[in-house]
Structure 1
Amino acid sequence: MARVVLGVGASHSTLMNTHWDQVGHTDRAQLFRDALADAREAIVAARPDVAIIVGSNHFRGFWLDLIPAFTLGVGEVIASGEAGTPSGPQRVDPAFAQVLAQHLVEAGTEVAISARLQIDHGQTHAIQYLMHGLDVPVVPLVINVFAAPLPRLDRCVQLGRNIAAAVEAMPADLRVAVIASGGLSHQLPWPPDWRDPQGDDEEFLVQAWLNGRGEWEHYDKRRRQIILAAQPTIFEEFDRAFLGDLEGGALGRYASMSSQDIEAMAGNGGQELRAWLVMAAALSFAPGRTLAYAPMPEWLTGMGVAVIDPAATP
């Protein structure tokens, strides 16, 4: 019987690639990077046959002309390669992904599918640091966390549970890892609502999100300038509480929260924690283990790494 054998949650930030030499908190930065290496070793030890990578989209693979709540890559997967992340075709398992999609739809989670999916650092940051050198195919699952209206958090939990059920229903003896990429708390200088942009920067970003299909690089330089000019906003108390709930197997309590609740507690970047809820639900909210937490204002983000290993849970 197939089964989910490991869950991993890890923050992402392209500034880790492009601004390492500008880090003031070098001990914190190295702590986070070392934890990524430890999480990779946990993946190696779990011996997965395939890894489902759950993450957000940052308007390099999806745009406002069409942005589903959940999208599963069931065929070719192309990485954008922004800011030093992997680029080009990725190793995938279309047969597994297509069966997974069928099971999810039949279970009541209507994921969109893409036979030629473009992903960005919402998934490729994990590929770069957690899957480097591993001969394991990936199946990307992209969650809309930045273009309102966002999927409800309880629907994300249901998605995770349905992933576990779908895997267990497969006849092959497969070992599956579920990796969540994103979070923890941070605040991006993006419009609070794309439908009502305020000022030149927000107008520019909405135009980039609407018209970027096929030419996202045309908008990328100014986008990066807007992000780099942002004031770091990290909610360290929330981050530590969230990781504590992961360790206690209590992340299910976030299912009752709204998008407004999450933004108030963790900033608009905290909406990426939906990926962690999907991952934890796929592991039945088993207690996990935090490998590192590093508040990194240089990267605008509270950076965390954690694992949920059901084999290590009494």
Structure 2
Amino acid sequence: MTEIVLGVGASHSTLMNTHWEETLHKERAERFRDALKEARDELAAARPDTVILVGSNHFRGFWLDLVPAFTLGVGECVASGESGTPKGPQPVDVPLARHIAGALVESGRFDPAYSARLQIDHGQSHAIQYLLDGLDVEIVPLVVNVFAPPLPTLERCEELGRAIREAVLTFPGDRRVAVIGSGGLSHRLPWPDWRDPHGDDEEFMVGAWLNGRDNWQDYDARRREIIRAAEAALNPGFDDEFLSLVEKGETHRVTRFTTEELEKTAGNGAQEVRTWLLMAALLDHVPGRRLAYEPMPEWLTGMAVAVLDPAPPS
């Protein structure tokens, strides 16, 4: 019998790797890092065989020449390795991944893109680095478009999570499956709407997203400069409200936001809460536990970790 044994939502930031010593709010950073370790230990205790890893793409695995709303990795998976995150091939649970893809199509509800040679970036490899450290598991990577509008609606993401849950539970094997949603919470990246860039920096960014498939590393130095020069725009009030929904098992209520409303309220980076929403739907919206929330302006992001455990309390 296949069962879903744990869910984890966690923010990511490559600045943990590249600028730890320059971090001003060290106590906050350490509390967040410790919460990642606690979540990792809970994952280890749940003994998953496979982790469905839901994350975003920062134009190092997808580019503007082709941007699906949802992409399942069903074969090879390679991490790009930027900013000190894991690099190279990652183990994929191919039978489960292909079962999910097929079941979604057969249901008539979703036609996800799929890739037999998927490249992921820190939107997922950050979670591999910190949450799967030392764990002998395979992954099913699911990449959600959260940065190249038009974006899939929050409601559509929640529906996909429920559909994947149904697919997983009908898998004719014997799997213990965990789910990770990697991204968010509130933050604003100095990234343009690719359809209407203004100024040299925004034109450069769109050019990198369009032309970087074969040489994305060539753009990274200036990309990093633009990001490091940005001012933080956090909304701890939104973050607390969102985490309260997670704790109450009501993450689905975030679907009341339109894409535009979410960006206005919590920044363009908050579109990554789609990954948490998908994760929570896969866990049937069981109430979660907040392990940490730390506003980190030097990382431009409201950093949070939460765990959703479907096991009844002992």
TM-score by length of 2: 0.98
Partners in 1 of 2:160 and 2:73 — Cα distance? 15
Cα displacement string for residues 259-313 of structure 1 (whole angstroms, at most 9, x for unaligned residues) = 0111122100000000000000011111000000010011110000000001046
Q: Residues of 1 paired with 2:63 and 2:156: CA distance?
A: 22
Query: Does residue 1:201 correspond to 2:201, yes or no?
Result: yes
Structure 2 residue aligned with 1:123: 124
**2:134 maps to 1:139:** no
Q: RMSD of the TM alignment (CA)?
A: 1.0
How many pairs were matched up?
Answer: 313
Question: What is the identity, as a one-letter code, of the residue corresponding to 1:47?
Answer: R
Give the SS at the match of 1:311: coil
Q: Which amino acid letter does the alignment assign opposite residue 33 of structure 2?
A: R
Map 1:175-190 → 2, pairs under 5 A:
175-190=176-191
Is 1:63–1:209's contact at 8 Å kept on the other side of the alignment?
Answer: yes
Match status 1:6 vs 2:12: no
**Contact 1:18/1:83, CA 8 A, preserved across alignment:** yes
For the 8 Å contact 2:79–2:125, the answer to whether it is kept is yes
Which secondary structure state, in structure 2, belongs to the residue aligned with residue 295 of structure 1?
A: strand
**Which ranges in structure 1 are unaligned for 5 or more consecutive residues?**
none
CA distance in 1, matches of 2:313, 2:71: 31
Counterparts of 2:48 and 2:137 in 1: how far apart (Å)?
7
Aligned to 1:303: 303
The DSSP-based 3-state class of the residue aligned with 1:52 is strand
- The residue number in structure 2 matching 1:212 is 212
Normalising by structure 1, report the TM-score: 0.98
Q: CA deviation at 1:173?
A: 2.2
Q: Which stretch of structure 1 is more off in the superposition, 118-127 or 304-313?
A: 304-313
Write the distance in 1 (CA, Å) between the matches of 2:56 and 2:180. Answer: 12
Q: Secondary structure at the match of 1:305?
A: strand
1:186 touches 1:302 (CA, 8 Å); kept in 2? yes
Runs of at least 4 residues of structure 1 off by over 3 A? Answer: none
Percent identity between matched residues is 64
Q: Which residue of 1 aligns with 2:34?
A: 34
Contact 2:96–2:171 under 8 Å retained in 1:
no
1:53 CA displacement: 0.4
1:73 aligns with 2:69: no
Structure 2 spans left out of the alignment, 5+ residues: none
1:178 partner amino acid: V
Match of 1:114 in 2: 115
